[in-house]
């Protein structure tokens, strides 16, 4: 038996259009759900990335502050090390004048006296007074020919020899300290100066 088409053609096309519209609506809803899911995922990932970025910025700022602090400390240590090295060199090269003057006093004859002592680096200059010419000769002998005098002084000269109103001999003595043979100040490694 043949189908009898009781629906008019216009209704059939309207029914097809409704069906297409339903399919299109379902497809649109599916696309909308997928886009919404993608948007939410993107938003979550963006929020997580921003949070991670802010944590990294804080860590970078902390690291930069630490580097700056360490750099300042290193510069300070470098300056202090250079100054300490210079100070150590100065301390190592200085002479112990108290020991030198004590040894000088031990070498001096009994009746010879120094006044106006002037120390300039390794040179000692002084005015002196002696009772006799033999005392002057003994002074020169003890400074120039004795073993201790040779160790202590590399050069001794007497100038302006004369006598005063009491018939005492007055003269000027210049002595150059033998820096290689005289005691040096102790270095910082041995506990500083004494």
- Residue 44 to residue 38: CA distance in whole angstroms: 10
Note the pLDDT of residue 34: 95
Q: Provide mean pLDDT across the span 71-96.
A: 82
Calculate the average pLDDT of the chain.
Answer: 82
- Provide the CATH number for the domain formed by 97-177 in this structure: 3.30.1360.100
Q: What is the pTM of this model?
A: 0.46
Model confidence pLDDT, tens digit, residues 144-186: 888 888 888 888 888 888 888 888 888 898 888 887 655 555 5
Note the pLDDT of residue 193: 41
Q: Where are the domains of the chain?
A: 11-93, 97-177
Q: Which of 180, 183, 185 is nearest to 92 (CA)?
A: 185
Confidence of residue 191 (pLDDT cuts 50, 70, 90): very low
Tell me the DSSP string of 138-182.
HHHHHHHTSHHHHHHEEEEEEEEEEE-TTS-EEEEEEEEE-TTTS
- Residue 105 to residue 100: CA distance in whole angstroms: 9
Q: Give how far the C-alpha of residue 46 lies from the chain's centroid of Cα atoms, to the nearest Å.
A: 47
- Cβ(143)–Cβ(153) under 8 Å? yes
- Residue 142 to residue 182: CA distance in whole angstroms: 16
User: What CA–CA distances, in Å, run from 69 to 43, 64, 75?
Assistant: 39, 8, 10
């Amino acid at each position: 038996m043949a189908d009898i088409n009781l629906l008019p053609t216009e209704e059939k096309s309207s029914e097809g259009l409704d069906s297409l519209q339903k399919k299109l609506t379902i497809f649109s809803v599916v696309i909308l759900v997928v886009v919404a899911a993608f948007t939410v995922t993107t938003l979550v990932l963006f929020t997580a990335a921003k949070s991670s970025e802010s944590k990294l910025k804080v860590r970078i700022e902390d690291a930069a502050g630490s580097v700056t602090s360490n750099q300042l400390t290193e510069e300070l240590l470098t300056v202090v090390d250079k100054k300490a090295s210079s100070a150590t060199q100065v301390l190592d090269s200085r002479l112990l004048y108290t020991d030198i003057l004590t040894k000088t006093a031990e070498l001096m004859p009994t009746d010879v006296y120094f006044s106006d002592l002037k120390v300039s680096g390794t040179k000692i200059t002084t005015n002196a007074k002696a009772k006799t010419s033999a005392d002057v000769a003994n002074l020169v002998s003890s400074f120039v020919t004795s073993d201790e005098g040779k160790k202590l002084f590399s050069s001794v000269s007497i100038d302006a020899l004369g006598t005063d109103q009491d018939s005492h001999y007055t003269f000027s003595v210049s002595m150059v300290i033998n820096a290689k043979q005289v005691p040096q100040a102790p270095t910082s490694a041995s506990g500083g100066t004494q």
